[in-house]
Amino acid sequence: MPAPSPQGDETHLHGCMIGLFWIERDRVCLGSPPTEEDPGVFLFPTGLSVGEGARRQAWSWADVTDLRLLDVPVRSSAARWATRVMSVAAAALNAWGPDGPTMMTAVLCVRGDQRVETPVFSGAATAYTRREVDLSLGLLSHFVRGSATPALLTRWWHENQPSDVLHSHEREAVLEDWTAPLM
């Protein structure tokens, strides 16, 4: 009997961060996936939802007039590396306990002047690059305008099923591949 594949059926349980999106087999989260008690913003081909379970609200893309993300942590590559080095050194000395991911705010505007603000966690360990944020926000605006769909992201995940964390230049390249046909 052959040995099980190292990726096996477990890959569907994990996701991958590309820009401001956390991509899993069947869904895309804006920011990192939420914990059970926190709301999340989930992007689907037909629309998006905010929250979980009975507290979940959903809208079609046709009803969404704007979707923005505020307080996105952006740093230069040098600053991100310096922060990472300091974090590793502090952790090695047991001098620092992680504060958790940076909190961002998703602002959703829906027809009828409805505005929903919800916190979402950053998926970046330290911060995103400016290019990664710009490309992500551009793609997000295409979702709102209907010229692209989050199915693009889940299709990429199915085709690639990355098992490693991608470096910022790799994430930027994927975002560029997604946005180039839209420009």
Q: Does any domain span residue 151? A: yes
Query: What are the backbone dihedrals phi and psi of residue 75, each rounded to the nearest 5 degrees, phi first?
Result: -145, 155
In 3D space, the residue among 13, 67, 14 whose CA is nearest the CA of residue 41 turns out to be: 67
Residue 55: domain span:
9-172
pLDDT tens digit sequence for 26-45: 889 999 988 777 778 999 99
Q: For residue 22, is pLDDT > 80?
A: yes
Average pLDDT, the chain: 81
Q: Does any domain span residue 179? A: no
Beta pairing partners, 30: 21
pLDDT tens digit sequence for 134-170: 999 999 999 999 999 999 999 999 999 888 888 889 9
Question: How many domains does the chain contain in total?
Answer: 1
Non-local CB neighbours of 108 within 8 Å, separated by 6+ positions: 41, 48, 50, 59, 64, 66, 67, 115, 116, 117, 118
Non-local CB neighbours of 180 within 8 Å, separated by 6+ positions: none
Q: For residue 171, is pLDDT > 80?
A: yes
Q: Does any domain span residue 82? A: yes
Q: Does any domain span residue 163? A: yes
Local confidence band at 51 (pLDDT 50, 70, 90 cut-offs):
confident
Q: Does any domain span residue 46? A: yes
Q: Does any domain span residue 49? A: yes
Q: Does any domain span residue 15? A: yes
Percentage helix, strand, coil for the chain under 3-state DSSP, each rounded to 5: 35, 25, 40
Tokens, residue 14? 């994990």
- pLDDT at residue 98, rounded to an integer: 52
Q: Does any domain span residue 155? A: yes
pLDDT tens digit sequence for 112-141: 999 999 999 998 878 899 999 999 999 999
- pLDDT at residue 128, rounded to an integer: 93
Q: Are 102 and 74 in contact (CB under 8 A)?
A: no
